Structure 1
Amino acid sequence: MSRNGVWQLKKMCITYCEHSGSSKYIRNILPTDFIKFKEANPQIEFEEKVVSGCHPSVTATYLSGKEKFLPLRGREEEKIIKHLQNLRDTSGFKPTKFGDRYIKKTDTIQGLWHPFLDLKNAQQQ
Structure 2
Amino acid sequence: MPVSAIQKVATAQNGVGAFILPCKRITLRYCDWAGSSKGMNAYLKTQLGVFAKRNPQIEIQVYKKHNHHPVITANYLNGHEKTVNVKNMTPEGVREKIELLRNSSPEKNKRVPSKPVTSINENVRGIWSPFHGAKIKI
What is the TM-score normalised by the length of structure 2? 0.70
Are 2:26 and 1:12 equivalent residues in the alignment?
yes
What is the TM-score normalised by the length of structure 1? 0.77
Query: Could you say which structure has the greater relative contact order, defined with CA pairs below 8 angstroms and 6 or more residues apart?
Result: 1
Q: Displacement of 1:42 after TM fit?
A: 0.7
Are 2:62 and 1:48 equivalent residues in the alignment?
yes
SS at match of 2:45: coil
Q: Displacement of 1:35 after TM fit?
A: 1.0
Deviations 1:51-97 (A, max 9, x none): 11111001110111111111111011111100000001111112445
Give the count of matched residue pairs. 106
Cα RMSD over matched residues?
A: 1.7
Unaligned segments of structure 1, at least 5 residues: 113-125
What corresponds to 1:106 in structure 2?
A: 120
Report the structure, 1 or 2, having the larger strand content. 1
User: Equivalent pairs: percent with the same residue?
Assistant: 27
CA distance in 2, matches of 1:20, 1:53: 7
CA distance in 2, matches of 1:31, 1:39: 14
Report the structure, 1 or 2, having the larger helix content. 1
Which stretch of the first structure deviates more once superposed, 23-32 or 84-93? Answer: 23-32
CA distance in 1, matches of 2:113, 2:66: 48
Unaligned segments of structure 2, at least 5 residues: 1-13, 127-138
SS at match of 1:28: helix
Deviations 1:31-65 (A, max 9, x none): 22111111111110000000111110011101111
SS at match of 1:6: coil
- State the structure with more CA Rg: 2
